[in-house]
Amino acid sequence: MRRLCAIAIGLIAVLACSQQSPQHAQATEPETGQWALAIHGGAGNIPRDLPTEERDAYIAGLTVALDRGVAVLDGGGTALDAVEKVVLTLEENEHFNAGRGAVFTHEGRHELDAAIMDGSDRSCGSVAGVTTVRNPIHLARLVMERSPHVFMAGPGAEAFAVSMGLEPVDNSFFDTQKRRDQLDRALREEQERAGLGTVGAVALDRAGHLAAATSTGGLTNKRWGRIGDVPVIGAGTFADDASCALSATGQGEQFIRHTVTGSVAARVELVGMDLEQAAHQVLFEVLRPGDGGLIGVSRAGKLVLLYSTPAMLRGLADASGRREISIWE
Amino acid sequence: MRRLCAIAIGLIAVLACSQQSPQHAQATEPETGQWALAIHGGAGNIPRDLPTEERDAYIAGLTVALDRGVAVLDGGGTALDAVEKVVLTLEENEHFNAGRGAVFTHEGRHELDAAIMDGSDRSCGSVAGVTTVRNPIHLARLVMERSPHVFMAGPGAEAFAVSMGLEPVDNSFFDTQKRRDQLDRALREEQERAGLGTVGAVALDRAGHLAAATSTGGLTNKRWGRIGDVPVIGAGTFADDASCALSATGQGEQFIRHTVTGSVAARVELVGMDLEQAAHQVLFEVLRPGDGGLIGVSRAGKLVLLYSTPAMLRGLADASGRREISIWE
């Protein structure tokens, strides 16, 4: 990961040019009534000469997560169960910036955010700034299904987790050496930096319902209880059977300011735009080059994976048998 | 306020009928290039036989806040300064559920949320769950202007406030007997209940820029670090010169789930709908009867104040000399 950061500045110039004619797009249109799934492990500056073992770890992690989601959907399970399972699997994998392996805050701790949304009735659950919950995406689901609320933060959210029977973990459970090294470097340079690896998933199930889930450790060296776009419904996470399901990754502040996933869905629902066109417009005409990426699935099962960064860790699968894991284009 | 709650259940039946042909709408269209301002002090079940002293206190509070916003705008000040001033004035007034006079949480404390957004560049700032900041709306503005972030929560947000030179107040600063009585009753009945009085403002300034601000103490007897729609950009608060500025009040979970202010703005910007039509559609066709209300101003200076509850504390003014304070229709 050190090398990723080291070459980030050099890539800015590349980005500034490459975004003029964005080519980082994938789309597939399975038959209606079938299932479809897209997942991401974060968008950012991943060098093409990434050490083999690191690349293999990303690909293995995405593969396992994709497989688990596919198993749910192919077996007739719900989109909601599929996206939770995918994100929970990535939270458990220390290579991704969510759950174990999350980046460190300025104070050398971890504060995790997550959200899940069920497109069938727009029910949703978000948690922010939790420090003792092993799987924030599961807590987000409990907020959605077992509380009258949709958004909980900090110690209150943790008390709710305990009341739901979740065993708290010590905050050090999330520690990894790679992330500590990133914090040490960020502290020396006195800046917060993006921790590549927000994770997310979107799915259409056989019953025709959509769902989205996103989870993150946020920014290395973040301060002041910063909350990013992940738990903000309509920013980093959104699902509505009337339009699409979306999960974003990137510069959280930009995704909040431009209500990114809500704006994409509005283009689909209100203007009748194709999901790919809608996502493309928001990512490349509203946001700035390099701000990030998003994955989406339409109610017809069309999958869209778009990013304005050099790379996005991602995967897709659908009932037609298509199955892909990718990092660069 | 006891009486407000006491008759709330009785009003539900009225609500269920009255929403079929909503008549609670106000709209005015001043000349382009002029200023316009709308403010609210919460929507809910305010009985028409409200004690005179209570009604007078609401009207006096709204009048002072409106006057201060008008002074900013009429003097050529910015929409951003005007909405901050209005909301700060209402936070200082103990009759409204924001700042001093905020409702109590389950634990007998106060956790405040606020957000502000500048339509000229969609910059924004939100704070959630702050307990020691006298004017959360001012902290939201500092988050927007003096940090790289847009959303901060809890102790982190309070540490940021101190770093910005804000003097912390003891949480008991927000205590009032009326709100303590409400908590005692809610605890006996073992339920959370809406504390009427989220406050907000939207404005168009002479330079043609829009801004919105919202602040709240949330729900009486709330638990688990619950965050409502107020600090969620695109739910309770939104501003964009390309469309409109909006501030909402009501059942926060519904406003998050339906990305209410973002959805209204999308109808204006993407579909070309009139602001009043857009707000009406979301409030009466997307949301449930009785969910709440919202105020908005278009870039042409059209003011919209809509609610699906029996009443909304509100005021409006514009450069043509129009000036109104209302509770019921």
B214-264: per-residue pLDDT in tens? 999 988 889 999 999 999 999 999 999 999 999 999 999 999 999 999 999
Q: How far, in Å, are A211, B281, B306 from residue B269 at the CA level?
A: 26, 15, 19
A226 interface with B at CB cutoff 8 Å:
yes
Per-residue pLDDT at A329? 79
Q: Is the pLDDT of residue A2 over 90?
A: no
User: What average pLDDT does the segment A232-239 reach?
Assistant: 98
Between positions 231 and 250 of A, the ones with CB within 8 A of B are 232-235, 238
Contact (CB<8Å) B128/A124:
no
Core vs surface per residue B202-220: b (16+ CB within 10 A) or e = bbbbbebbbbbbbbbbbbb
Residues B203 and B73 sit within 8 Å (Cβ to Cβ): yes
The DSSP symbol for B17 reads H
How many A×B Cβ pairs under 8 Å?
150
Q: What is the largest CA-CA distance in chain A?
A: 53
The string of pLDDT tens digits covering residues B201-227 is 999 999 999 999 999 998 888 999 999
Instruction: Test B153 with A225 for CB contact under 8 angstroms.
Output: yes
Quick one: A76 exposed, middle or buried, by C-beta within 10 A (0-12, 13-18, 19+)?
exposed
List the 101-120 stretch of B: residues with Cβ below 8 A of A.
111
User: In this complex, do B226 and A156 lie within 8 Å of one another by their Cβ atoms?
Assistant: yes
Average pLDDT over residues A161-182: 95
Task: Please list the helix, strand and coil fractions of chain B in percent, rounded to the nearest 5, in that order.
Answer: 35, 25, 35
Q: What is the mean pLDDT of residues A294-307?
A: 97
Is B166 touching A (CB cutoff 8 A)? Answer: no
B153 and A270 in contact by Cβ < 8 A? no
The string of pLDDT tens digits covering residues A285-300 is: 999 999 999 999 999 9
B29 pLDDT more than 60: no
Q: Position B227: which residue type?
A: I
pTM, two decimals, is: 0.90
A184 — contact with chain B (CB < 8 Å)?
no
B133: contact with A, CB 8 A cutoff:
no
Best of B106, B126, B227 to disrupt the A interface (most A CBs within 10 Å) is B227
> Residue B224: which CATH number?
3.60.20.30
Q: A213: which 2 tokens?
A: 């889930």
Report the pLDDT averaged over residues A136-154: 97
- Structural domain boundaries, residue A141: 2-326
A250 φ/ψ angles, rounded to the nearest 5 degrees: 150, -150
Specify whether A89 is catalytic.
no
Domains contained in chain B, number: 1
Q: At B14, is the pLDDT very low, low, confident or very high (cuts 50, 70, 90)?
A: very low
- Which two structure tokens, joined as six digits, stand for B213? 């601000």
Window 10-69 of B, Cβ < 8 Å to A: none
Reading the block at residue B181, the tokens are: 């009585």
In this prediction, residue B45 has a pLDDT band, given cuts at 50, 70 and 90, of confident
For chain B, percent of residues with pLDDT exceeding 70: 88
Strand ranges of the sheet holding A244-250, from the earlier edge strand across to the other edge:
A25-28, A303-307, A292-298, A244-250, A237-239
A227 vs B153, B252, B259: nearest CB = B153
Which ipTM value was assigned to this complex? 0.88
Q: Which residues contact B193 (CB under 8 A, 6 or more apart)?
A: B5, B182, B186, B219, B220, B221
pLDDT at B16: 33
Range A196-212 average pLDDT: 94
Cβ neighbour number for residue A141 with a 10 Å cutoff: 25
Collect all residues of chain A within an 8 Å Cβ-Cβ radius of residue B151. Answer: 226-228, 232, 253, 256
CB contact under 8 A, B235 and A234: yes
Chain B segment 245-284 residues within 8 A of A by beta carbon are 252-253, 256-259, 262-263, 266-267, 270-271
Min CA distance, A268 vs chain B (Å)?
A: 11
SS (H, E, C) chain A: CHHHHHCHHHHHHHHHHHCCCCCCEEEECCCCCCCEEEEEEEEECCCCCCCHHHHHHHHHHHHHHHHHHHHHHHCCCCHHHHHHHHHHHHHCCCCCCCCCCCCCECCCCCCEEEEEEECCCCEEEEEEEECCCCCHHHHHHHHHHHCCCCEEEHHHHHHHHHHCCCCCCCHHHHCCHHHHHHHHHHHHHCCCEECCCCEEEEEECCCCCEEEEEEECCEECECCCECCCCCCECCCEEECCCCEEEEEEECHHHHHHCCHHHHHHHHHHHHCCCHHHHHHHHHHHHCCCCCEEEEEEECCCCEEEEECCCEEEEEEEECCCCEEEECCC
* Interchain proximity A225–B156, CB inside 8 Å: yes
**Contact list, B288 vs chain A (CB under 8 Å):** none
Contact at 8 Å (CB) between B52 and B182? Answer: no
Query: Where residue B15 falls among pLDDT bands split at 50, 70, 90?
Result: very low
Percent of chain A with pLDDT over 90: 81
Q: What is the pLDDT of residues A55-73, one digit of tens each?
A: 999 999 999 999 999 999 9
Does B152 sit within 8 Å of A225, measured CB to CB?
yes
CA angle B277, B82, A223 (to 5 degrees): 100
- Which residue among A148, A156, A232 sits closest to B225, beta carbon to beta carbon? A156
